[in-house]
Every structure is written in C-alpha cells, then in structure tokens.
C-alpha cells in the first residue's frame, strides 16, 4: 500500500478552520477579515446569535490551534490575542502598495511595447492588459490581449534584456 508524503504546511485562508490535518503538517491560519466581529459591528447582528457564536468558536479555535497566524490587518494583534492567539504566532503581510517603490523618475515604456500598442490601437483592437511580476532573468512578461468583441489575437510583450 502506498501513502502520500506528509505536507509541510496546511493553510486555512480567509475563513475559520473547519478541520485540522492529522498528518503532522503545520497549520497556518490566514486571516483577511475578523469574523464574527464584522457582521456584529457592521451588520448589527447580535453577538448572542447562534451563528455568530459558532463563528466565534471557530475563530477562537483557529487562533489557539494554529502554529502561525498570518493577517493583512496590522492592528488586529490585540483582538486576536483576546481570542486565544499567542503573541508570537502573529505575522502581518500588508495588502497594499509600497509607496517608496513609486518614488523617483519613471522608466519609459520600451519601444517594442509602444510599437505593438500603436499597431493594436490602429487596428481598433479592444485591449485588456495585465502586468504580472514574473521575472525570467531581467525580462518581465506583460501579457497583452487585443481583439474585437470577444475574439482576436493575444500575445506577450517582453520588456528588458
């Protein structure tokens, strides 16, 4: 009989954990919102409502049982500690922009990009752009889709060396 290898980490994103792995994996509890605080404070639900109590139990369980708690909320530590999390478990990964990265002179768009965008514009293409920071050496890939209505060609434009 074969068995799967033990996973190194089990992540429970954005919601209270409903189950824990018995494989020995570390539990990382990822918190985006404070449930049930949000429906109580914003939605006016009673903290004594059975659904809110169930959510609170699940949230408290996650804070107590997780090996690490990751959150985008930089000011949530005291709240989480009040619900059973040990201080050393708390780690913040900000969700936003590092303003320092946007300071200084901007770099001009590479000539290949300017030319390709001009061609698509002249052809009256509908453009959708998405910038993904996936680096291959010094080359950033910028997928550009151009088409009429729902059809048309798509391609990648590569900037850099």
pLDDT digits (tens, 9 = 90+) for 20-78: 556 677 888 999 888 899 899 998 999 999 999 999 999 999 999 999 999 988 899 99
Give the E-state strand segments of the chain in sequence order: 9-13, 26-31, 68-71, 90-92, 126-129, 135-136, 139-147, 154-159
The pLDDT value recorded for residue 61 is 92
Cα–Cα–Cα angle for 58, 12, 57, rounded to 5 degrees? 5
Rounded CA separation 6/67 (Å): 16
Length of the chain: 161
If 0-12 CB within 10 Å is exposed, 13-18 middle and 19+ buried, where does residue 132 land? exposed
Of 7 and 80, the one with more pLDDT = 80
30: Cβ contacts below 8 Å, ≥ 6 apart: 11, 12, 13, 14, 69, 70, 71
If 0-12 CB within 10 Å is exposed, 13-18 middle and 19+ buried, where does residue 28 land? middle
Of 112 and 48, the one with more pLDDT = 48
Q: State pTM to two decimals.
A: 0.52
Contact 66, 107 (CB under 8 A): no
Q: What percent of the chain has pLDDT over 90?
A: 31
Rounded CA separation 34/73 (Å): 9
């Amino acid at each position: 009989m074969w068995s799967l290898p033990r996973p190194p980490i089990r992540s429970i994103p954005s919601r209270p954990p409903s189950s824990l792995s018995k494989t020995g994996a570390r539990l990382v509890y990822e918190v985006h919102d404070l449930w049930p605080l949000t429906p109580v404070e914003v939605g006016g639900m009673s903290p004594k409502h059975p659904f809110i109590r169930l959510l609170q139990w699940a949230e408290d369980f996650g804070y107590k049982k997780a090996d690490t708690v990751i959150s985008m909320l930089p000011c949530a530590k005291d709240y989480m500690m009040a619900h059973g999390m040990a201080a050393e478990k708390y780690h913040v990964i900000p969700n936003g922009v590092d303003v320092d990265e946007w300071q200084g002179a901007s770099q001009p768009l590479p000539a290949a990009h300017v030319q390709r965008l001009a061609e698509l514009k002249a052809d009256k293409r509908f453009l959708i752009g998405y910038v993904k920071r996936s680096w291959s050496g010094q080359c950033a890939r910028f997928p550009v889709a151009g088409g009429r209505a729902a059809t048309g060609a798509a391609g990648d434009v590569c900037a850099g060396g």
